Amino acid sequence: MDIRQKDLGLLLALDALLEKQSVSAAAERLGISQPAMSAQLRRLRELFNDPLLTPSGRRLVATSRALALKDELRQHLQDLDGLVRTHRDFDPATARKTFRIIATDYAHAVLSAGLAQHIAVQAPHCRLAFLPFAPKTVWHMLEADEADLAFVTGMKLAEARMRPGIEESFCIIQRKGHPLGKGPMSLEAFCSADHALVSPEGGGFVGMADRMLSERGHRRKVVISLPSFLLAPTLVSSTDLICLFPRRLAALHSDKVDVVEPPFETPTFRADLLWHSRRQHDPSHIWFRDLVGKLLTNT
């Protein structure tokens, strides 16, 4: 007979019978009636083609076949219990897991240090993978479980679950000792300075700020286009270029550059957390996205 065609609950009954070597005691342990346990024992004898428990005086004793099964059966049942607990509960202190986040360079820079510190303390056996942001593959990676979260800007996926992340504004970064000084910057000084612009799509020389300036009849002079925010502080710190730069990211580079307030209200952007609905009730995912969400709240 094939166990796949049988009730796996029989194995729990067998474990109880081998431990107690008594039908009534085994029935009490599993919370069923003695006749029901007797029926289970009949089915087990048929399944294993062995009496399993045989009378010896006024009690039952395990057969040699049953004794050979006992320890291995208990180990398998413990393994199954562990499998269920692993997917029901999540203990970060003992878990061994790799968490993966898709994000832009800005988001990785803002989040990575704090998240790494918390993981090291709360989940010391877990690892972090920061994955690059590519709009065309974000949903595929979430759907295929190749990433746990996407921390993205300006992206709405109808199929995804979402948690608000952060709203970011811009400041100006410039080298320490810049000729324009650290005081309030006039619109004329801003427009006449040489600018570096971060163009994530690559090679662009016009951004949202340029459109806002154009509506007011002004224009700035963008002379260098960069593909990543992370390149700007090093470039700006060694030239007279200025750059509109995310405020949280600027704070991380205060040793290299000075921060100056723009002479007009700059555009803002949001960065939100996205994930696939299949992970909504996954205990490890709940723990991880709550940790990321709390970090963003305090960023």
Summarised one tens digit per residue, pLDDT across range 47-91 is: 889 999 998 888 889 899 888 888 888 878 777 765 665 556 789
**Separation between Cα atoms, residue 2 and residue 189, nearest integer Å:** 83
Q: Which of 114, 68, 82, 149 is CA-nearest to residue 297?
A: 114
Report the greatest alpha carbon distance in the chain.
105
DSSP string, 137-169: THHHHHHTTS-SEEEEES---TTSEEEEEEEE-
Report d(CA 247, CA 260) in Å as an integer: 10
Q: What is the CA radius of gyration of the chain?
A: 32
| Predicted local confidence at residue 47, as pLDDT | 86
The pLDDT assigned to 7 comes to: 67
Domain ranges of the chain: 3-88, 98-167+270-297, 170-267
Tokens of 285: 């995912």
CATH topology agreement for domains 3-88 and 98-167+270-297: no
Q: Which residues of the chain have pLDDT under 50?
A: 1-2, 5
**In this predicted structure, what is the pLDDT of residue 88?**
63
Topology given in CATH for the domain delimited by 3-88: Arc Repressor Mutant, subunit A (1.10.10)
Cα torsion angle, 122, 123, 127, 129, sign: negative
Out of 3.40.50.300, 3.40.50.2020, 3.40.50.720, 3.40.190.10, the CATH code matching 170-267 is 3.40.190.10
What is residue 1's predicted lDDT score, i.e. its pLDDT? Answer: 45
Structural class in CATH, domain 98-167+270-297: alpha beta
pLDDT (0 to 100) of residue 84: 61
Whole-model pTM? 0.66
